[in-house]
Amino acid sequence: MNMINVLKFLPLTVFIVYARLNGMTDVAWREAFILGGICTLIVVAVQLYKKVTFDRLMLGVNLFLLVGAVAFLGELYGILMLYGTYKGAALLACVGIVGLMTTLFTDARFIGVDVVGKTALKKRYSFMLLLVTMLAFVWAVMMNQQGLVVSAIVPFIILRVMYEEFGKKLEFNNN
């Protein structure tokens, strides 16, 4: 695994570890979002500089962290209320926004695999991922009171596994 593949997880790792080590208080969450947002800017800058195809799921997580950081810094109470009430759904909504935008406006689509001549397959896998993301979002809203593990982490892991498997299939079909 190269350094860029490890680096893409830095913002989320900093966010989770910081909040956890500081008691997951309101102040800890505020600071965790701000640190996660700063890490996001650094990681995105490095990835742009290296001309790396972004991991779409982690880009969605980074959007979640960046919006949270801006909401805390700008005291945007509407967004903070949504984040506080629908934690998992807010995260999956950000992943869905990235998924929709990349499916519609990039060659690698939501699947994030840049292979030549597989446009139909990339579209199909990307729309399948988009559908699963929407279902995960609905699940997160419905299971909101069950805690983060049930409402967000499990659906995100399922989404991650599908993302990886579809990507492998595209790369395998390219050889």
pTM to 2 decimal places: 0.92
Quick one: pLDDT at residue 168?
A: 87
φ/ψ bin of 112: left (φ > 0), alpha (ψ from -120 to 50), beta (otherwise): left
Quick one: pLDDT at residue 1?
A: 57
**Mean pLDDT per 10-residue section of the chain, whose length is 175 residues:** 84 96 94 97 94 93 98 96 92 97 92 81 92 95 90 93 90 66
Which tokens go with 59? 């880009």
Quick one: pLDDT at residue 59?
A: 96
Quick one: pLDDT at residue 175?
A: 53
Quick one: pLDDT at residue 157?
A: 94
Quick one: pLDDT at residue 22?
A: 96
